[in-house]
Amino acid sequence: MIRFEQVGKRYPGGIAALAELTFAVESGEMVILSGHSGAGKSTLLKMIPAIERPTHGAVVVNGQNVSALKRAAVPFLRRNIGMVFQDQKLLHDRSVFDNVMLPLAIAGVAVRDAGRRVRAALDKVGLLEREKAMPVALSGGEQQRLAIARAVVARPSILIADEPTAHLDDDTAGGIAAMFHAFNQVGVTVLVATHHEALFAPFMTRRISLSRGRLLP
């Protein structure tokens, strides 16, 4: 489902973020990305939805070489990928409901069906009763759950997350980890970059470890 083939990434100034990465993630796996801060985890995740492009090598997702996709094709790729990043990019002038509705509106889903799907997603993350609230009224954990609801509302086959439990208390972080496990249990392929590996260890299929942009054995 996801394959990296000799992928390298250099930023201006010659800074190497990733070097010669080759690995594959199969459909239905739950994979944890581990490594020190600056190891390249975030860059790796951003390669999958073509937010970042490799300097060399190929990133293949569902049979498509996404590193070679034309700009116009990228939104269609992302419809099948749920993304939860540290910068949640919530729309603070829109309600919880409208934040989750946004991906479906962009995709042109009929309003009646979209409304049902939004409420189903909010119910899964325990926010159905807060659908009229504004993001500023939510706690940090609730904002993270809102970001997850928005990521899964379009029913993606792949869910990627960058430090989804950062800055959360232990109980809330544990609930977030269990939520990712629940999505994986229904067939979603999950990749999570985290420093809180112990939270996800009971659920993960395997671990991919990075150090200075390279895979560890």
pLDDT of residue 88: 82
Q: Give the span between the Cα atoms of 63 and 112, in whole angstroms.
A: 33
Which pLDDT value is given to residue 87? 82
Q: Of 45, 136, 58, 63, nearest to 95 (Cα)?
A: 136
Does residue 13 surpass a pLDDT of 90?
A: no
By residue count, the chain amounts to 217
Q: State the average pLDDT over residues 172-195.
A: 95
Amino acid at residue number 76: F
Per the prediction, the chain carries an average pLDDT of 94
Q: Please state the rounded mean pLDDT for residues 205-216.
A: 95
pLDDT higher than 90, residue 14: no
Token pair for residue 193? 């970059």
With helix as H, strand as E and coil as C, how does 94-155 read?
CCHHHHHHHHHHHHCCCHHHHHHHHHHHHHHCCCHHHCCCCHHHCCHHHHHHHHHHHHHCCC
Q: pTM for the whole thing? A: 0.94
Q: Using one digit for the tens of pLDDT, what is the confidence trace for 101-157?
A: 999 999 899 999 999 999 999 999 999 999 999 999 999 999 999 999 999 999 999
pLDDT tens column, 55-109? 999 999 999 999 899 999 999 999 999 999 888 889 999 999 999 999 999 989 9
- Residue-range domains of the chain with CATH: 1-80+156-217 (3.40.50.300), 90-154 (no CATH)
- Burial of residue 21 (CB within 10 Å: 0-12, 13-18, 19+) is buried
Is residue 173 within a helix (H) or strand (E), and if so which, with residue range?
A: helix 170-185
